[in-house]
Amino acid sequence: MNLGQSWYTILTLFGSTLTFYVQTWDEYFTGKLVLGIVSGPVEGVLTLCIVYAITAVKGGGSFWQQSMFHTFGIKKHGFIPNYVHEMPFNQWYMVYGGVVLVFNTVQRYLTPFPNKPPLLLFLRLTNHRPGLNSIYHVLHTNQEMKTHKKVKSHSHPLYTLTPYFLTWIFVPLYLWLQPLILNQHIIPFVFFVGLINAYSVGQIIVAHLTKNPEFPMYNVLTLPLGLAVLDSAGPVLGAWPSALGDGMYQVAFVFLCMGLGVGVYGSFVYDIITTICDYLDIWCLTIKHPYNEEEETKEEKKKKKVK
C-alpha cells in the first residue's frame, strides 16, 4: 500500500501482530481457534492478494498514493468534502478496515447473548476485532468451565496478555523518542518487532501442544527494546545522558536487535525441529525410513504369528 516509513505502517503492524498473538493465546486457554465472520486468514489474505495483484499490474506502490476518486473519474460535488475527494487509496484502505469493524460490531449485536458480568458484556458488544473476540471467548469459556488447570483465577488469562502489551508500550515510545528510526530505518525495526511477536507466539504454541500449565510470560527479545526506551528517555527527562545518542549508534542498535532476533528465533525453531525429529526418529524434510513392501510384509507375518 506504499504506507511508507510512518505511523501508518506501525499501526498496521500492531493490528497484524495483535491478531496472531491473541488468537494463539485464545487457543491456549480454550483449546479452540475462533474466527469472526470477517477474519484475517480468509478475507484478510484475499485482500492482500488483490492488493499485490493490482500493484503488480500497475507497476509499483505509488499507485496507492493516488486519489481514489480521481482514479475512478468521480467528479467533485458540493456534498463531498475536499479532503474526502483527495484521499488516496492507502487511506481508504484504513477506512475499509473501519467498515469491517462496524460490520462485525453490528453482527455481534444481532446475536443473542445471556446475562453476563459487566466485563464480559462489554467484550461481547465490542468483540468486533479479532483480539476482543478472542478475549471474550477465553473469559466466557473459563466462566462456563468454572475450573481449568491453566487458569488460576477468572482474571488470570487477562494477566497473561501483559507480555504483548508491554512490548507495544515500548515500540511507540522508542519510535517517538527516536524519530530517525521511524522516518529512515523502520524496515529493520519492523523485522525486529515481528520476530519478537513470532518468538512469543511460538512459545505459546509449544506450551499448548505440550499441555504446559504455565503460560510463557518471558520473551528475552523485549529486554533490549525496553533498555533502549530507558536510554532514550534519559535526555528527555533530564535525568541521564543517552549512551547511544540520536545518530548512527541508534541505527546500529536497531540492526543489532534485528540480528539478535534472527538468532534467538532461529535457534528456537531449530531446537523445536530437532527435538521432535529425535523423539519420533524422523527427518524434517526427507523420509528417514522409506516404505519397503517386503520388510513390511515380513513384519506383518511376524505379528500374526505372535498373535
For 151, phi then psi, to 5°, come to -110, 120
pLDDT of residue 136: 57
Confidence of residue 154 (pLDDT cuts 50, 70, 90): low
Tell if the pTM clears 0.85, that is, is over it.
no
Q: What is residue 75's DSSP assignment?
A: P
pLDDT of residue 156: 74
Q: What does the pLDDT look like over 253-300, one tens digit per residue? A: 999 999 999 999 999 999 999 999 999 888 888 888 787 777 778 878
Q: What is the mean pLDDT of the segment spanning 232-259?
A: 92
Tell me how crowded residue 126 is: count the other CB atoms within 10 A of its CB: 16
Lowest mean pLDDT among 104-113, 154-163, 175-184, 284-293: 104-113
Distance CA(112)–CA(194), nearest Å, equals 37
Distance CA(55)–CA(45), nearest Å, equals 15
SS3 call for 44: helix
**Number of alpha carbons in the 13 Å side-chain half-sphere of residue 241:** 3
- % of the chain beyond a pLDDT of 70: 79
For 265, phi then psi, to 5°, come to -70, -40
